[in-house]
A = this chain, B = another copy of it.
């Protein structure tokens, strides 16, 4: 029901506007006795943090997380652990630059949620995009760091696989390259191409879309659930809820439409540790339940509409006008969506793990 909560057993409720006092979240349902410190969370936040390269917004936020509740130092081990009670995480907004918002206050930016928030609520927080700002995703990344602890044994990694018309070469995929470039790009050569291409976009005051791929390994066969709690259904909702996402696919995704049954069926053979699949067109999920293979999800991020070229729009008074967005923005918001996508998938897996344990024991 909730507008700002996701998950069922592992539940995350986020709050906060781009230019308010603070943003944050409450993680409810986390199992007890899991070691957790602010440093565990800070690492993931730092990967998402803006201002780390010329390819992301120059907004400078320390994004320092503070744990307000739900942990204590274990009296016997001396290790700080979760207690089973809600974990409140808070990130202060430190770079609420005092600026002139009069332009976007009264005009609707094409492609932004300005018009729709106002249509829904009769009011919108125009300062930095308010609640619709991608800043909200910092809370998700913080929650995702907790989720990773819950699904110990599973790994969730993301990669940028396409910017504009440029796609990576899958044959060159190397997870170790992810940290070597500002794009989370697993193909070293593509990363160079991305840099050149994006410099052009950035200098033109333009923006461009992207595609991100998330791969979860170690997901046990049987995790997930049928019908309306499908693992892929929940991943789809989670990824589509990220700002600017317009498409989600699992495994072969839209390419499945062109496959025959013979091509698409992932055949099986007994392996040393049980049944093995000979291919993974399914992206690790059949009938909403994990097969034990890597879970593979991709999502498309549209270009931000904050660009330097004036666009036709209307203002709140109902007059035709134009607008261009001068603020600090990402030329490709897809880049910073990588750790956000990872966090969402980690949260979905944590939720499913607890629900699965509950029903099946």
Contacts and interface: CB of A to CB of B under 8 A. Distances in A.
A301 interface: yes
A266 interface: yes
A106 B133 CA distance: 47
Interface string A209-237: 11100000000011111111110111111
A273 to B, nearest CB: 11
A193 interface: no
Contacts of A130: 72, 83, 85
A122 B288 contact: no
A32 B303 CA distance: 30
Interface stretch (A43-51, A168-176, A306-314): A306-314
State which size class the interface on A falls in.
Answer: 35 or more
Interface in A263-287: 263-270, 274-275, 278, 281-283, 285-287
Contact of A17 (B69, B165, B288): B69
Contacts of A8: 1, 8
Interface string A6-33: 1011010111110011111010111111
Given A26-B26, A85-B130, A246-B251, A120 B356 contact: yes
Contact of A228 (B3, B246, B262, B334): B3
Contacts of A357: 357-358, 361
Contacts of A228: 2-6, 237, 241
Interface stretch (A55-63, A110-118, A182-190): A110-118
A278 B84 contact: no
A136 interface: yes
A132 B226 contact: yes
A221 B113 CA distance: 11
Interface in A111-168: 111-113, 115-117, 119-125, 127, 130-132, 136, 162-165
A329 to B, nearest CB: 9
Contacts of A83: 121, 123-125, 130-131
A336 interface: no
Contacts of A295: none
Best-buried of A3, A16, A252 by chain B (most CB within 10 Å): A3
Top-9 shortest CB links A-B: A113-B287, A358-B358, A247-B249, A116-B289, A207-B261, A119-B222, A237-B237, A111-B265, A256-B302
